[in-house]
Amino acid sequence: MDYEDRLIIYIDILGFSSFINYTSETRVNSPNKILRINNFLNLIKKFFTINDITLSKTRQVTSFSDLIVISINLNEIENIDLEIKDIFFLLLTSYLNGFLLRGAITYGKLIHTENTIFGPGLINAYEKERTIAKYPRVIIDDVIISDLLDLEKMSKLPQNCRDFILRDFDGLFYIDIFNSIRENVDNLWEYLQIIRSICNILINMMENPLIKEKYTWLKDKFVFHINEQKQIFKHSLDNNLTKDDLEVIKMMIYEIDQKEAKKML
């Protein structure tokens, strides 16, 4: 069995280990926490098995514990832009369910079958996810961005990637959910549920000094997004985000939900 040149998408569910350990160390809401973990893992499996988008035939998916690895043979890849957009929707799904993902999308040599996965490409993707991605984001190698530009034959990304592949403050390309989240959800209600979930994630993160760097990155993206949505949220935020600010946003969402529900009666 020989190595293949493959597109490799390596994703880690952040905080998963501590979440598991917490449920084993305390009985407070432990059944609910275990159910939440189990539901999210099952949701990921369904995401990659019943997704109705026509993607590359050589796509392989392996998930174990808190890791997800997707790879596609480069010689037979059909829609690299759609493969990456699929990860955008996975990120939306994870935020909605209260989990953060971090990952790296790269090229590398890999053997990846239904029962086997190994190779230098996997090690490279792992190292980039751990040491370069740093924050709750999925980064994309520059060489892949170049190939996406070649797809369009222009100096810009393909239309369906343009709104969610951005260059971050440190020069790295990554998959951003905030810039085009409203255009990529089914309705206002679904958008608001994702925002509510992110509020809860930030509330939990701000109380943990060990993840301050990750919190600051996500907080800054969130604050900018909310301030751009003045037609929905009438409460401006600044970088000194507080728990009260987040509770105000959640209350606004609740009030909008109530108004929409009354319209349906």
Q: What is the pLDDT of residues 87-120, one digit of tens each?
A: 999 999 999 998 999 999 999 999 999 889 999 9
Domain boundary among 136, 157, 182: 182
> Structural domain of residue 253, as residue ranges?
186-264
| pLDDT tier at 257, thresholds 50, 70, 90 | confident
Distances (CA, A) of 98 to 171, 198, 202, 261: 27, 7, 10, 24
Asked if 210 and 162 sit in the same domain, the reply is: no
pLDDT, mean of residues 74-84: 82
Tokens of 55: 């993607």
147-198 per-position pLDDT tens digit: 888 776 656 677 778 889 999 999 999 999 999 998 899 889 999 999 999 9
Non-local (6+) Cβ contacts of 7 within 8 A are 71, 72, 74, 77, 80, 83, 105, 106, 107, 144
Q: Give yes or no: residues 28 and 107 share one domain.
A: yes
User: Which of the listed residues 182, 198, 217 is the one where a domain comes to its end?
Assistant: 182
Strand-pair category, 138-140 with 165-167: unpaired
Same domain, 209 and 153: no
Same domain membership, residue 176 and residue 238: no
Domain with residue 43: its CATH number is: 3.30.70.1230
- Are 243 and 165 part of one and the same domain? no
If asked whether residues 195 and 163 sit together in one domain, one would say no
Please check whether residues 206 and 223 belong to one and the same domain: yes
Domain count, the chain: 2
Radius of gyration of the chain (CA): 19
Alpha-carbon gap, residue 233 to 246, rounded angstroms: 12
Residues 93 and 165 in one domain: yes
- Note the pTM of the prediction, 2 decimals: 0.88
In this prediction, residues 121-145 reach a mean pLDDT of 95
Q: Are 141 and 239 members of one domain?
A: no
